[in-house]
A and B are shown apart, each in its own frame.
Chain A
Amino acid sequence: MTVGILLLVHNAFGRAEQVARHWVKGGCPVVIHVDKKVPRETYDRFVLALKDLDTVLFCKRHRCEWGTWGIVAASQSGASLMLDRFAEVRHVYLASGSCLPLRPVRELRSYLDARPQTDFIESATTADVPWTVGGLDAERFVLRFPFSWKRQRFLFDTYVEIQRKLRLKRRIPEGVVPHMGSQWWCLTRNTLTAILKDPLRREYDAYFRRVWIPDESYFQTLARLYSPQIESRSLTLSKFDFQGKPHIFYDDHLQLLRRSDCFVARKIWPHADRLYEAFLDPSEQAMKGAEPNPGKIDRIFAKAVERRTRGRTGLYMQSRLPHEGWENGFSSAPYSVFEGFADLYEGFEDWLARETGTRVHGHLFAKDGAEFEGRQATFAGALTDGVKIRDYNARRFLTSLIWNTRGERQCFQFGPADSQIITWDLAKDPNAQISVISGAWAVPLFLANEDFALLRAEAAALQKIESEHLDALRSPHAKARIRIWTMAEFLEAPAEALQTVIDEFPGSTGRKLTEMPRMVDLTGFGRFLQNLKNQGMDPYLMGDFPVEGAPRPAATPLRRKRYMIR
């Protein structure tokens, strides 16, 4: 007993001939169906080329178009011819001209000999398969599809729409439960005969003729009626991408295919010479009689689909520029933004780098240029510190920086003296961890020895900017991990506050800070604030400070004080 190969061919005739010869050499009769669209001369040449083999037959030709009945008609004609003419055939294997046997033919034969009653056909009810393309799953069995999806898309879509609107539904023949699955099956003589000789075949054919993609459902459904034993999987390795078109195998897949232990793979690029040489080589070693195991190939193709549909988060490039809101995340990795800390602590950047082992920058968005770690002029990815280039596309500057340093956490300082273009992007980015000591920008002013009128003006400007920034951080659109202390609140328990922030760094849970950074001397800060007030400005973002003495502020909550005239 043997297996008969039914080959559907529409192009790459040289390859089809090679494969047909390979099957014949392995003792399998072959019936070939050539698409009717193929010109007469090409067909004749192909027939002539295989003339020397008497176990290769050509069946009646049908016009095959994707998603239409032609492919089923072709399989029916081919299968009938096969069963009539080759009595030794117990299984019929449906394959295409671009399928390639991966294991020696005798292995397939002995595998099937050991399972004489089994039909290998992937067959599942529509409710159970997630892989339909175009949103038509159950509907493909109850609507009519007289138009071509490829050539007459408008008519196709309109007609579907009309049927939906009018709630037209076809009657499914009695006893038939629609099933779907891969079109590449391997059925036993008994099952096939039962399907082809069924007294109700006319009715079934008439029904399936108007079903969409009947080649994925005709045999899959009818086999359920007759098969004593269905193994619901295809012996052909065939992977589909997100548009439902088969992935193609090339020379560089050779090892992968070897290790898959599958019997037949589809679809092979016709110019993949190495694959054809390797797998059609008669001296090809037996694979060890293992069960097919396409796991690794599955993963590679699943990843390809994922890349095409979801892409790499935080990457913006020539073939990925998502609309706002469709990025699957603004940046590629978590990072930390510190506001006010560097004003309050001397050497804060170095301290943070030592404590956390992360990359700590200065003010990346400083008005006179990006302050990269160590104040270098360039940084990862060859980003430069120039203002104009940075501000020309500040978003890309930030996302590039995070992308370029994947695997290494970035921290940077931010404040009201910086360029604020990036405010909303920071606030909305779930990857941003933003810690703010509000009002700390006043400390450098306090320490500066400048004309007080100038300081007062600057303080007013900075306070306005920071207040707007805080509005963004507090808005309902903000998705970052945000912590805001007023300076007064922070000073009540600075170590605790720092510890909370650092605890959120990866790998630092439960680790106590070994040393604290050195805080600037704030003696007289309260007086400084009072002087600002005396000049008519209301510095409220830092919270309440006593006018005299060291800054040991009372635990008063942030409350904006109104001007009071005495």
Chain B
Amino acid sequence: MGAVQSYRLRLQRKRWRIRAFRKRRDLTPVVQRTGSIRGSDILVFSTFRNEIIRLPYFLKYYRDMGVNHFLMVDNGSDDGGREYLAEQPDVSLWGTNASYKRARFGVDWLNWLQLKYAHGHWALVVDPDELFVYPFCDTRPIRALTDWLDASSIKSFSAMLLDMYPKGGIADVPYSRGQDPLEIASWFDAGNYSIYRNHKYGNLWIQGGPRMRAFFADDPARAPALNKIPLVKWDRQYAYVSSTHTLLPRGLNQVYDEWGGEKASGILLHTKFLSTFGDKAREEIGRGQHYAASREYLAYAEGVTENPDLWCKWSEKYINWRQLEILGLMSKGNWA
């Protein structure tokens, strides 16, 4: 990469940081417990809207994993989610009614909060429907992972988005509050992913899975990106460019080995396809606040049926991280 390109990316990173700084005015603190964050705490950052039904399990999942504090942005919920979170002792909450789209799908807000609170911390950026899985997560808390990453001088950790779905129509089995969504959405596509390098940012571009085969079979190039880098030892100089797909500086995107080896990586189990999806799709199409003009939701709405069945004969049923490791969706790398 030439010096010019390098300088351009540097300017771009500064622009995103300035933008995050300006967007801070969107956010109004609801409850701030950031004073209780200790130096070595592991933080979760998340934006949500009307997710009360998912929040209890989300918090439980990450608390059990060993996350110390949650920094959440509520984008105009009216389902009681804001009140619920405000009561949680390890949550700091901000509210906003500003446009999700104009905050670049929440990236600006979280960039700001990370700039302010995540400096020097391991920060995990996940949506309420994403469950982070890493090697040995059934026996080792997340601090074991971050300690190991620190010891190995690794600053960012990759976790591909893995779309989970139920067997049968996605609306068939209702999801209830507090329930483990994987009890219903327990299936996934094991090996139909396309990978390309993005030369500008040095990250990968992974597409595939059930969304590609069900909604984008005629236009695979527009299928949603599944590559994510959600776990980063944050520095106030860093910035997410688009969702957690891409980071700047560029070196943070180098989460894959190019000389034949495997780096350690995890998975984000994406439990979007539950009974709640139909309502969400209708609401989001109405708001037009999602990526590529809610294309994914539109594709869904235009789907032949209101209640799509993503399951096929070759779908794989989720067991644990070791299964994902053996299937080659994630890797232990040299962590043993």
User: Is residue A497 contacting chain B, with contact meaning CB distance below 8 A?
Assistant: no
B336 adjacent to A271 (CB under 8 Å):
no
- Tell me the bound Cα distance from A384 to B217 in angstroms: 9
B217 adjacent to A322 (CB under 8 Å):
no
B258 adjacent to A382 (CB under 8 Å):
no
Could you say which residues of chain A place their CB within 8 Å of the CB of B84? none
Could you say which residues of chain A place their CB within 8 Å of the CB of B209? 382
Residue in B160, B218, B258, B312 whose beta carbon sits within 8 Å of that of A378 in the complex: B312
User: Is residue A380 contacting chain B, with contact meaning CB distance below 8 A?
Assistant: yes
Q: Which residue of A lies closest to B217 (CB)?
A: A386
User: Is residue B261 contacting chain A, with contact meaning CB distance below 8 A?
Assistant: yes
Residue in B136, B218, B263, B314 whose beta carbon sits within 8 Å of that of A320 in the complex: B263
Q: Evaluate whether A389 and B264 lie within 8 angstroms (CB atoms) in the complex, with A301-B336, A381-B192 already known.
A: no
User: How many A-B residue contacts, CB cutoff 8 Å?
Assistant: 177
Q: Evaluate whether A241 and B212 lie within 8 angstroms (CB atoms) in the complex, with A308-B263, A384-B217 already known.
A: no
| Candidate in A245, A317, A404 with the most chain B CB atoms within 10 angstroms | A317
- Tell me the bound Cα distance from A380 to B152 in angstroms: 36
Q: Evaluate whether A382 and B191 lie within 8 angstroms (CB atoms) in the complex, with A252-B140, A311-B262, A319-B262 already known.
A: yes
B148 adjacent to A248 (CB under 8 Å):
yes
A308 adjacent to B193 (CB under 8 Å):
no
Residue in B212, B221, B261 whose beta carbon sits within 8 Å of that of A309 in the complex: B261
User: Is residue B35 contacting chain A, with contact meaning CB distance below 8 A?
Assistant: no
B192 adjacent to A388 (CB under 8 Å):
no
Could you say which residues of chain B place their CB within 8 Å of the CB of A376? 313
B330 adjacent to A382 (CB under 8 Å):
no
User: Is residue A36 contacting chain B, with contact meaning CB distance below 8 A?
Assistant: no
* Shortest CB distance A198–B (Å): 36
B264 adjacent to A319 (CB under 8 Å):
yes
Interface residues of A in 289-306 (CB under 8 A from B): 300-301, 303-305
Q: Evaluate whether A321 and B258 lie within 8 angstroms (CB atoms) in the complex, with A251-B139, A383-B191, A388-B218 already known.
A: yes
Q: Which residue of A lies closest to B264 (CB)?
A: A319
User: Is residue B315 contacting chain A, with contact meaning CB distance below 8 A?
Assistant: yes
Per-residue interface assignment for chain B, residues 254 to 293, with 1 indicating a CB less than 8 Å from any chain A CB and 0 otherwise: 0111111111110000000000000000000000000000
Q: Evaluate whether A320 and B189 lie within 8 angstroms (CB atoms) in the complex, with A248-B148, A271-B143 already known.
A: no
10 A-B pairs with least C-beta separation: A381-B191, A308-B334, A393-B194, A304-B336, A319-B265, A382-B189, A252-B139, A404-B191, A319-B263, A392-B220
- Tell me the bound Cα distance from A386 to B265 in angstroms: 30
Could you say which residues of chain B place their CB within 8 Å of the CB of A327? 260
Report the contact-size class of chain B (Cβ under 8 Å from the partner).
35 or more
User: Is residue B328 contacting chain A, with contact meaning CB distance below 8 A?
Assistant: yes
Could you say which residues of chain B place their CB within 8 Å of the CB of A326? 258-260
User: Is residue A37 contacting chain B, with contact meaning CB distance below 8 A?
Assistant: no
Residue in A241, A269, A319 whose beta carbon sits within 8 Å of that of B255 in the complex: A319
B152 adjacent to A382 (CB under 8 Å):
no
User: Is residue A375 contacting chain B, with contact meaning CB distance below 8 A?
Assistant: no
| Residues of chain B at the chain A interface (Cβ within 8 Å) | 136, 139-141, 143-144, 147-148, 151-152, 158-160, 189-197, 204, 206, 209-210, 212-213, 216-221, 227, 255-265, 312-316, 328-336
- Tell me the bound Cα distance from A268 to B160 in angstroms: 30
User: Is residue A379 contacting chain B, with contact meaning CB distance below 8 A?
Assistant: yes
Could you say which residues of chain B place their CB within 8 Å of the CB of A320? 256-257, 260-263, 331
* Shortest CB distance B105–A (Å): 21
- Tell me the bound Cα distance from A317 to B260 in angstroms: 11
* Shortest CB distance A298–B (Å): 11
B191 adjacent to A307 (CB under 8 Å):
no
A269 adjacent to B261 (CB under 8 Å):
no
- Tell me the bound Cα distance from A317 to B262 in angstroms: 9
Q: Evaluate whether A300 and B314 lie within 8 angstroms (CB atoms) in the complex, with A381-B191, A382-B213, A400-B192 already known.
A: no
Q: Which residue of B lies closest to A239 (CB)?
A: B336
A317 adjacent to B195 (CB under 8 Å):
yes
* Shortest CB distance B214–A (Å): 9
A322 adjacent to B314 (CB under 8 Å):
no
User: Is residue A145 contacting chain B, with contact meaning CB distance below 8 A?
Assistant: no
Could you say which residues of chain A place their CB within 8 Å of the CB of B258? 321-323, 326
Q: Evaluate whether A318 and B256 lie within 8 angstroms (CB atoms) in the complex, with A252-B139, A392-B220, A400-B191 already known.
A: yes
Could you say which residues of chain A place their CB within 8 Å of the CB of B218? 386, 388
- Tell me the bound Cα distance from A382 to B209 in angstroms: 8
A380 adjacent to B191 (CB under 8 Å):
yes
Residue in A242, A308, A383 whose beta carbon sits within 8 Å of that of B262 in the complex: A308
* Shortest CB distance A483–B (Å): 30
* Shortest CB distance A316–B (Å): 6
